[in-house]
Structures are given as C-alpha cells and as structure tokens.
C-alpha cells in the first residue's frame, strides 16, 4: 500500500505502520523474551518511520532497539543505537522533557546490564534533571511506556545493581506505592527488584515474600521480564535452599501453569 501512495496519506499510513511494528517489537522483547524477533520488527518499524519522516518516532524505535544488545551485555552496540536515537530526537521539533528523560533511562538500563553502574547512575541523574528543568510539552499518543514513576523504577534497579541496597529499597517502595492498578507488569518487576534487595541483605524470608507477591501478579498478568526477575532472585538464593520459605517459593515457581508458561516462552 505504501508504494502506491504519496504525500500526506503515505506519511499517515507509514506512521501507523511504524507505531504498530514498534508495539509488536515491545511485546516480543519484554513480554515474550524473543529478542531476535523483536530485532527484526524494530528494523521494519524504523523503515516505516523513515517513510513517514517522523524523527521522534524514529528515535523511540532506535532506543527500544538498544535494549536488545544492552540486555545481552553488548555495550558498544547498545551505545551506538542510543547515540543514533539522540541524534534523531535532536532533529525533531518540540521534544517533550519526558521523552528526553526516557532516553536517559534507557541508557541507565543498558549501562546496568553491561556492568557500568556508575555511568548508569549518572544517566538516571540526567533523566531526573530533564524532568525538573524543562516545562514538558504534549506527549505523542504512542509514547505511553514511561512516566516519572517509571524513571524511579529504573533508578531503583540501578541502585540495586550498584550495591546501594538501602537507597534501592527506599526508591522501590516509593515506586510500589505510586504505581497505578493498571501498571501490573511494572509491579512484577518492582517486586522482583525488592526481593533482590532483601536477598542481598540476607533477609531470605522477606525476599521470598516479595517474590511470591510477584508470582501472584504474574498469575494474573504474564510478563516475561517480571518472571526473569523472580528466576534471577531464586538463582541467588541457593545457600538458603533448605529453608521453608525458599521451598515454598520453589513450589510456587514450579507449579504446573508457571512451568508451562516459562517453557512455552
């Protein structure tokens, strides 16, 4: 259809296609943990954004694509995609401060995954400054994956990975209180991070309790990224395998539905 259209109608259709492909890539990467499939759809989304000549949408797609190498620990590849995302954002008009803060949050997530904790904490600070120093403009309808509380969730995870456990707990508890009822997927991630904080400080029972809360939420709304947090936590708790609370967590983690869901994905 695009090849048969020109002018404003072509731009409108191309933008809709880019938004749809971006959403598909997000679902594949975060919900299903299928990074190879997500990578292909991010490329197609970027091509469609180019046909629409939508610089801000192109920036969002490039930043999302940075998660793929970032989560794989490929720092240079992630950094290059983020550089490109920032260039596209600079070329766009009226970039909302919240979008700029999100780019910094993506940088923090990728830096954390690649073991660059100090750089990640600096990225979080820059994101907070972007929100504080600028009067925010209207957000595009397709940019519904980020908010100040989501930035705080990124911050809590970054503090956790940097070993700043008391700060991480305080940040994550505040996030948990501020999340809306609709943000179920994000809640599983935050609960998983809180469980990891408790485990890192030697509080096995508290860690298991938070992990079971996350599993309760995952039973309602599946989210592969949330389940990944719980599985990472359990792998860190082998020294407590004989405790009743850990055996209870294992019972929940490996019940029929949870095990089948994990194998299917």
Strands (E), the chain: none
Q: Which domain holds residue 257?
A: 179-265
Q: Is the pLDDT of residue 6 over 90?
A: no
Answer yes or no: is 200 within a domain.
yes
- Taking all residues of the chain, what is their mean pLDDT, rounded to a whole number? 93
- Residue-by-residue DSSP string for 34-73: -HHHHHHHHHHHHHHHHHHT-HHHHHHHHHHHHHHHHHTT
Answer yes or no: is 25 within a domain.
no
Answer yes or no: is 135 within a domain.
no
183-196 pLDDT, tens digit each: 999 999 999 999 99
23-67 pLDDT, tens digit each: 999 999 999 999 999 999 999 999 999 999 999 999 999 999 999
How high is the pLDDT of residue 136? 66
134-178 pLDDT, tens digit each: 666 788 999 988 999 999 999 999 999 999 999 999 999 999 999
Tokens of 36: 């190879």
Tokens of 60: 């969002």
How far apart CA 84 and CA 202 sit, in angstroms, is: 42
Answer yes or no: is 244 within a domain.
yes
Q: Is the pLDDT of residue 265 over 80?
A: no
How high is the pLDDT of residue 37? 97
How far apart CA 94 and CA 259 sit, in angstroms, is: 46
How far apart CA 256 and CA 130 sit, in angstroms, is: 45
> CA-CA distances (angstroms) from residue 62 to 1, 82, 88, 109, 244?
24, 7, 9, 15, 46
Give residue 264's pLDDT band: very low, low, confident or very high (50, 70, 90).
low
Answer yes or no: is 143 within a domain.
no
How far apart CA 68 and CA 49 sit, in angstroms, is: 19
Percent of residues, the chain, with pLDDT higher than 70: 94
Q: What is the pTM of this model?
A: 0.90
How far apart CA 147 and CA 51 sit, in angstroms, is: 28
Judge contact between 70 and 113, C-beta under 8 A: yes
Answer yes or no: is 245 within a domain.
yes
How high is the pLDDT of residue 263? 62
How high is the pLDDT of residue 118? 95
* Number of folded domains that form the chain: 1
Q: Is the pLDDT of residue 261 over 70?
A: no
Report which of residues 9 and 20 the model is more confident about.
Answer: 20
Q: Is the pLDDT of residue 228 over 90?
A: yes
Question: Which helix H or strand E contains 78, and what residues bound it?
Answer: helix 75-91
Answer yes or no: is 231 within a domain.
yes
Answer yes or no: is 89 within a domain.
no
């Amino acid at each position: 259809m695009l090849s048969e259209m020109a002018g404003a109608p072509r731009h409108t259709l191309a933008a809709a296609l880019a938004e749809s492909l971006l959403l598909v890539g997000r679902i594949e990467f975060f919900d299903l943990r299928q990074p190879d499939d997500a990578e292909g759809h991010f490329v197609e989304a970027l091509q469609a954004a180019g046909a629409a000549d939508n610089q801000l949408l192109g920036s969002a797609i490039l930043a999302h694509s940075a998660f793929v190498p970032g989560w794989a620990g490929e720092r240079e590849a992630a950094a290059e995609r983020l550089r490109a995302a920032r260039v596209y954002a600079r070329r766009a008009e009226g970039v909302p401060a919240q979008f700029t803060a999100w780019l910094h949050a993506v940088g923090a997530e990728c830096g954390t995954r690649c073991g660059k904790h100090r750089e990640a904490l600096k990225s979080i600070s820059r994101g907070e400054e972007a929100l504080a120093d600028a009067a925010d403009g209207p957000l595009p309808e397709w940019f519904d994956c980020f908010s100040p509380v989501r930035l705080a969730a990124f911050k809590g995870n970054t503090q956790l990975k940097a070993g700043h456990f008391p700060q991480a707990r305080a940040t994550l508890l505040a996030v948990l209180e501020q999340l809306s009822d609709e943000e179920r997927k994000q809640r599983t991630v935050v609960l998983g991070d809180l469980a990891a904080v408790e485990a890192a400080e030697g509080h096995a029972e508290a860690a298991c309790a938070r992990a079971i809360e996350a599993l309760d939420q995952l039973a309602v709304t599946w989210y592969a990224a949330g389940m990944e947090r719980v599985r990472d936590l359990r792998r860190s708790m082998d020294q407590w395998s004989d405790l009743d609370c850990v055996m209870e967590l294992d019972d929940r983690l490996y019940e029929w539905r949870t095990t089948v869901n994990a194998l299917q994905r």
